[in-house]
């Protein structure tokens, strides 16, 4: 449904911090299913961990948050000027890590809107490799103006 070029039109993230490669499904203000292809060339594998590479858990959560950002911005398209907005974490709750993510894995990011507001929105996210749950979290995001430097 969306390739990385379309994703980069919405998110300000760039290599090495853009963690969403493709959107498979998007239902505005409801859910998104996105993909992060995890390769051995990822910069974090150099030190996490040599000889036993594992994707850092915080980056799995960040990937889910970025997918949620795509969902939020795509849902607001045409209603507000999304080119002048940024999305920041406001809270991350109920984080659980279940299974490691390794080079060669394809991380499937499933994010659902739990509550949508004009400034704060809350998402439930789950990350899977194949059918195994890797991580889950409840994320609260804040929509802010770029001109204000991220201040609400």
Domain count, the chain: 1
Q: 129: domain CATH number?
A: 3.10.129.10
- The answer to whether 76 touches 84, Cβ cutoff 8 Å, is no
> Annotated active-site positions, please?
48
For the segment 96-141, what is each residue's pLDDT rounded down to a tens digit?
A: 999 999 999 999 999 999 999 888 999 999 999 999 999 999 999 9
C-alpha span between 147 and 140 (Å, rounded): 22
pTM of the complete model:
0.94
Q: Which domain holds residue 39?
A: 4-148
Residue with tokens 């109920």: 94
For the segment 10-67, what is each residue's pLDDT rounded down to a tens digit?
A: 999 999 999 999 999 999 999 999 999 999 999 999 999 999 999 999 999 999 999 9
């Amino acid at each position: 449904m969306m390739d990385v070029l379309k994703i980069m039109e919405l998110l300000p993230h760039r290599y090495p911090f853009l963690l969403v490669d493709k959107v498979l499904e998007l239902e505005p203000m409801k859910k998104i299913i996105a993909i992060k292809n995890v390769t051995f060339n990822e910069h974090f594998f150099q030190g996490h961990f040599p000889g036993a590479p594992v994707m850092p858990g915080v980056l799995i959560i960040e990937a889910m948050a970025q997918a949620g950002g795509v969902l939020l911005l795509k849902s607001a398209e045409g209603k507000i000027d999304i080119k002048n907005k940024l999305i920041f974490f406001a809270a991350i709750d109920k984080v659980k890590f279940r299974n490691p993510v390794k080079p060669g894995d394809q991380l499937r990011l499933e994010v659902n809107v739990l509550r949508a507001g004009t400034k704060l929105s809350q998402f439930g996210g789950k990350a899977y490799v194949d059918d195994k749950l890797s991580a889950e979290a409840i994320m609260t995001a804040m929509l802010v103006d770029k001109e204000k430097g991220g201040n609400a």
